[in-house]
Structure 1
């Protein structure tokens, strides 16, 4: 069949070729036309398909643009989300080695790297493509001066305060336990971890640098390991028209074993004061946690029941000076001239009273009534928790720094329940003291006059309580002078500790002193709104935040001194960014704020908008204090203290204050070294050839009475291109 088909085909071809030429051309023309028509149909169909595709693609692009515009319209140009979308879109069309990031993305990446850690940051960077830069890029974008052990950052602090128009600062100091380990810092060529030597009160910088093996061997043989880190924190005290509380900044940090004398501490405070004074910054005062050495240094500086004054001030421009009404001298024991203000941390003071109540060795007694935690246990067992909000854990003896427990056991709900049973009167008065201390020294939105009122009630009642114990509990044959020889007099099981007593006395006196400074125009009125910042809680916040910077895979929350310094750099960068974002209006990054802090800031802002000048008047203050004494007398009547006091003519303010002063003389201090303060200053970077204060020593013959990989991420003290932010502190 194939052959037949081929033959037929050939025959047809031969017959076609025999046709005339004009007929053949017509047929060829028709074939050509048919071919062209079929070709044109195919082209048309392809064109139609292409047009449809083009139409679909263009409509998709238009829809994409419309969707993009809708998303961008929801996020304005000043919104951080808009910058994020722009960055992703921009970098998605560029090679990976040519990505570009705006400053707001750099700030956001820095915050994530510090808070979350390296591992979490890398996880986010790999999954949020085109958005986050590498760790190395972040490090290259920082310019910083790292913290050095025992280096006091006066210049950086001055820059920070000047940028915020702040000329007052309150300094706090505290210690915390660290891992005792020696480490080598290659970037600074020094060893960290030894106890920093102290010369004239000031720690020595770069004390552990060596160049030979023998020097290194001597370091380990002659120097002890530091088991504590001591930090100095500066709290700026801003003007009242600034609704924002300026973050604190760490002034210095170094390893120590806490083997210092009160004179060493006092000399260090004087150097800090003079360094700031030479830079136009006034150190208002110092705060600690009630440590006996620091409390002794404060009393020596304030000349508060000291046998011989050891701090001589030869330049009146350096010290505060007020006029104290003559009729106050019976109950006000603080001198009119003070170089510093001293305030013991209110949180620690409250926990001291709580721990005393929980102590098994204490047998606290007020009049006919006992003070006991068993009364609170009875409340927990006999009443509904909704009525008192207490739990057994609030009465845990081992948790000595549980301030939340102080707030709960002294709450108004608990006090009202205690009033229902007469045998709980002593416990009621004691917890009422605790409640007033919390209000006076820890609450933020409290007027200075109200703080003084609460503190004065506690002050006068504690004096009356101590006088009653002196009358009823002490042997009749012993006089005050004989009791002064008894070294265990302050360990009476029926009273609070002498440390807590002196803290109450000092704090109340200095609150009144601040009021007089404002009333006599020595300090601005804005200081009255910032007295709650006079505490050592900034130090506690630094330690707490530093421990919170451990990586997600690290089970160790403590640190060595070298790791602590690196974490300070991180905290500095983080706080700088937080402070910048508080006033930033473009592409702002929002941080979560606790609802209580937010409520306080809103209230402060509204108060600033409705500013009314509060009158500060000595006569009004005297009325407040006398009224506080009446309340203290009523509290004494409530627990039957008044009978013995009235019988011995010790119940009015003059008589009781006279005995209280004699009892405080039992705690009188003696020091063999005299410290002089003149008007000279030492500014190392100025051209003036001025010297530091000289310290003259004299002998006084007076008897004394008594996870570490996370820390490798370098961080900055200052962040580049932060639109005017030059220095940061460390906030809560």
Structure 2
């Protein structure tokens, strides 16, 4: 502080002393005037740079002092502003009482900070990015654009959102079953029992290139013992791609497998875990379904997760697979009774 207030910091160099000799060799040229008095000449460039540096420090010190004074000065809101925007009273009360969730605070602060900036300077916190991704996945493009255009600065534009989704570490590859992630999910819940659900929903047939898997998505993946062959449609040949367009069916359904963890009594039931998803044309048999369920069961057992049962809608092939697995009006031999992890439940109490 004292050094900044000195007008001429080089004045000490005008004194002839051995202690300042090394500094003088760098900063300027010593000499004597006509009367034989000692004098020291400072290089103009060095003097100019130091003076600019000191002026910058003084300006910064002034700004810091003014900011500090503003920080301790209480903010006064005019009564006219409160009458025009009465929700400010509720907002202040919620902030003082800590009634807002972390996401609500992030969303509001993100929105207000972006409104004061140009569009190129918009920034979004991670919680807002996660919300935007969920909104796009659950609501679709039209819903997302409706929210974004009516609340400017609230969520990223579609191009930014695509970059966020592409860079996400939790992205999925069509036809790949996420057993490792399922294990982490189940361990986090501290449970080892679950149900597996399977269902299909219709989609508009469309083929697109997935850069993460280096394959084309939208063709119907072939099945190997009931399981889709992931990354099957990968090629560098335009001729082969043209052949696929002409000969391979495009998927008009998405088949989804989810895992619902079964928790202890009193524990909140978690949301289902998405195990896998892939396109299909519904050309498979009940045998394919049974083989797929059997393999899912065995794969989960290796992760110390026991699947208690499989659920599906009223699709005829899935209903037949259930009848065959239970032997309910079916003579199909599945061999499940001889499985080493075959589960037996007695519904009747045996008297001693």
Smaller-chain TM-score range? 0.5 to 0.7
The whole-number CA distance in structure 2 between the counterparts of 1:274 and 1:91 is 51
SS at match of 1:120: helix
Aligned to 1:425: none
Q: Residues 618, 124 of structure 1: CA spacing in aligned structure 2 closer, same or farther, 3 A cutoff?
A: farther
Q: Residues 74, 176 of structure 1: CA spacing in aligned structure 2 closer, same or farther, 3 A cutoff?
A: closer
Aligned to 2:209: 184
Aligned to 1:72: 92
Q: Is the 8 A contact 1:125 1:133 kept in 2?
A: no
Gaps of 5+ in 2: 1-73, 83-87
* TM-fit CA distance, 1:285: 0.9
Q: Residues 288, 95 of structure 1: CA spacing in aligned structure 2 closer, same or farther, 3 A cutoff?
A: closer
- Which has more strand, going by share of residues? 2
The answer to whether residue 278 in structure 2 is matched with residue 276 in structure 1 is no
Q: Which protein has greater RCO, CA pairs closer than 8 Å, 6+ apart? A: 1
Q: Residues 99, 177 of structure 1: CA spacing in aligned structure 2 closer, same or farther, 3 A cutoff?
A: closer
Q: Among residues 194, 197, 200, which one is paired with 1:172 in the alignment? A: 197
Q: Is the 8 A contact 2:178 2:276 kept in 1?
A: yes
Q: Residues 185, 89 of structure 1: CA spacing in aligned structure 2 closer, same or farther, 3 A cutoff?
A: closer
Q: How does 1:348-367 map to 2 (within 5 A)?
A: none
The answer to whether residue 319 in structure 2 is matched with residue 295 in structure 1 is yes
Q: Residues 90, 169 of structure 1: CA spacing in aligned structure 2 closer, same or farther, 3 A cutoff?
A: same
The answer to whether residue 328 in structure 2 is matched with residue 304 in structure 1 is yes
Q: Residues 241, 65 of structure 1: CA spacing in aligned structure 2 closer, same or farther, 3 A cutoff?
A: farther
Q: How does 1:486-501 map to 2 (within 5 A)?
A: none
Q: Is the 8 A contact 1:125 1:134 kept in 2?
A: no
Post-superposition Cα deviations, 1:181-231, rounded to whole Å, max 9, x if no partner, equal 433334533223322211122111111112223322432344233333322
TM-score by length of 2: 0.61
Q: Residues 279, 70 of structure 1: CA spacing in aligned structure 2 closer, same or farther, 3 A cutoff?
A: closer
The whole-number CA distance in structure 1 between the counterparts of 2:299 and 2:244 is 31
The whole-number CA distance in structure 1 between the counterparts of 2:285 and 2:107 is 56
* TM-fit CA distance, 1:133: 5.2
Greater displacement, 92-101 / 306-315: 92-101
TM-score by length of 1: 0.32
Q: Residues 95, 160 of structure 1: CA spacing in aligned structure 2 closer, same or farther, 3 A cutoff?
A: same
* TM-fit CA distance, 1:245: 2.5
Aligned to 1:319: 342
The whole-number CA distance in structure 1 between the counterparts of 2:218 and 2:303 is 32
> How many residues are treated as equivalent by the alignment?
264
* TM-fit CA distance, 1:151: 1.6
The whole-number CA distance in structure 2 between the counterparts of 1:148 and 1:118 is 24
Q: Is the 8 A contact 1:300 1:311 kept in 2?
A: no
The whole-number CA distance in structure 2 between the counterparts of 1:171 and 1:320 is 16
SS at match of 1:241: coil
Superposed CA RMSD: 3.7
Aligned to 1:211: 236
- Which has more helix, going by share of residues? 1
SS at match of 2:77: helix
Q: Among residues 276, 279, 282, which one is paired with 1:252 in the alignment? A: 276
* TM-fit CA distance, 1:125: 4.3
The whole-number CA distance in structure 2 between the counterparts of 1:260 and 1:155 is 27
Aligned to 1:230: 255
SS at match of 2:198: strand
* TM-fit CA distance, 1:319: 0.9
Q: Among residues 269, 282, 286, which one is paired with 2:310 in the alignment? A: 286
Q: Is the 8 A contact 1:180 1:193 kept in 2?
A: yes
The whole-number CA distance in structure 2 between the counterparts of 1:314 and 1:305 is 20
The whole-number CA distance in structure 1 between the counterparts of 2:133 and 2:122 is 17
Q: Residues 321, 211 of structure 1: CA spacing in aligned structure 2 closer, same or farther, 3 A cutoff?
A: same
Q: Residues 169, 123 of structure 1: CA spacing in aligned structure 2 closer, same or farther, 3 A cutoff?
A: same
Aligned to 2:68: none
* TM-fit CA distance, 1:178: 3.1
User: Radius of gyration: which is bigger?
Assistant: 1
The whole-number CA distance in structure 2 between the counterparts of 1:112 and 1:273 is 32
Q: How does 1:7-26 map to 2 (within 5 A)?
A: none
